[in-house]
Structure 1
Amino acid sequence: MDDLPFIPVIYMHRMVDMLREEHIDTDQVLRECGINPALMNRPDTMLTARQTRILISKYMGLSSVTYPGVRFGQRLDLVTHGLLGFVFFWEGSFQDMLSNIVAFLRVRFPLMHFELRQGADYFSFDIRCDKRIRDIEPFLIQTVIGSITGLGRMLTQRISIHCRQETFRDLKTLQSMLKADAAYTDDDNSVRFYTSGIQLKSTSDGSSKEQETNEGIEEHGFVIKLRNLLLENLQANHGAEEISSLMGMSVRTMRRRLANLGMNFNSIRTDVRMQIAMRYLTTTNISIERIADFVGYSDQTTFTRAFREWKGHTPNEIRQRRVRTQNNCTES
């Protein structure tokens, strides 16, 4: 089992980036794990379970950050998962989109188990590991929770974490890191995405609950449509007035519906822009000035300022990190 393909290299690439940021000799670490550093620049390659286990163990031992699995997971964005186009162009329901993401992740991570359950006013993304990788289970669970929570915020601001105590010993730190409520459970670790910002009230026959749940799902379909329109009109730099018109509603109605979900137009537009910018920065040599123009910014300075606020790094820092990684692989 240890020699079976376990995880795509592109995920471990993010881990190597984080080790470099802590000034750790990543080439030495990779060789100690039996990994040729040159492989890290081949996203189609899969690491074996043994290589992954050793690399994660070393990462946990060398990293100085709290809950390194969560920090790692927060780096795994839509681009890394290969879900960017899928999420932006999805035209089905919110529930169907989540179901398809679960199916996708099952293929990506064959030794992890993901289930999607629907509650009264939420969808629960349940996570557990195959018993054969229990030694690194806490890290893997932390990683998935860190990543899924970040992706979920694209659609709802109301998220809660339900975890086993052996996965997270300190709930207060977890809540601070993920900006979400957290509680211990004896069941599988899970992330809940709530379909509305209002707690649903049950009735004797359950009809009101079902109606409100469906309305919540419909609202998230509305957010998906909004993101699609922003993506389709990226370079046009449409504001709230233009987008609301394309959606067939007043700007006031659009803002109200977003507010009910704990969202606002500007933050969604920024996230759409930056997800696309991140893809171009990490996969192409297109100039930063051209990327800024393509994602709707009038000049590179404004784009750089917005990108730093969103990512914590400038576009040039992201680009230079990729160049250093490629150079290291070439030298190896």
Structure 2
Amino acid sequence: MEEVGRRRIEPVADGTGNNMNKVVIDEGLVTGQQYRVCLSWPPHPACLTPAALPHPRLCSYITIPPLPPLPVDPENSRTTKGPPLYLVLGPVHGRNVSVTWGELPVPRDLAPHRPQVSRGYRVTWRMVDGQVSHPGHSSNLVTRRHLIRGLIPGTRYEVCVGETLANDAELACDVITTQEDVPGPAVTEGAWCWSQAHGTHWRCDVTWGPPLQPRGTITGYRVEYRDGEGYTLLESLPRGSLCRPLCHHSATATFHPSTACVIASTAAGEGWESCVPIQDIRGRVLAYFELRVLVVIAVTIFVYRFGPAILKAILRCCVRGLYRHMEGGEKQHPV
């Protein structure tokens, strides 16, 4: 994104005690191009804001529409289509966006063919995620301002506005990206620990996947190992936070932790934590071998108890089958 221009605005009193500021941008813009216009201001002196932090700012998106084409036959042209519109999208939040539109000035030679009364407007929006079959949403309005609610944070949307009876090709559209929000919990697969020095220096491993609701771009993770009372024994910011499909982290703790927690973060901050109890890998190995020993003992008892009877039944069936086969071959049947 390239910065086109910058201006400093001085407050001007309008006589009513309010400060009204209005700036007309008349240079450096190109038709058919989308721009982001941002306004920043210094914080109030009562707010103790460190100098290193950026000033608060408010941004909106606007696209300079192209000039309206000349009609081929003004007398037979369609009169239901409204005037060409331009869009102003903003402020853009994580779950809603304000949409404002207005009429594009039309040259004087086209003014007689421009409809004087509009029959209403249609606002449509859909996610831009590569899915062509996404249904999207639509609202019919008579005003020139609308607040779209229920959006997903950190998602690209295409917003279009046009006259109610206009087709999709006649709509004015813009693409925006909603602000990021804190992500949902990570998908923690499991955690294991084993002792490395006679009960001290526990080596712990934890495996997790990215959140099902990232709500933006995941910038990193934070892993915490806690004891049974909830105190953090070890905290790490592992590298490889964008690993796919699963992330793995290893650490060495002085005391044996009982819970491993993973917290994902985006540009908006850290999200919800996902904790999983830690299992002792030595206990898992012993349990595995104990299970195998139990299975072998059960099979041995079953064979010792029911093996002879099963073997006798099998032999009896085999002997009967052979006897019947031999007896049937010796018989003579008259024709």
TM-score normalised over the length of structure 2: 0.22
| Structure showing greater Rg | 2
Judging by fraction of residues, say which structure has more helix.
1
More strand by share: 2
> Relative CO higher for 1 or 2, CA cutoff 8 Å, sep ≥ 6?
1
Tell me the TM-score normalised to structure 1 length.
0.22
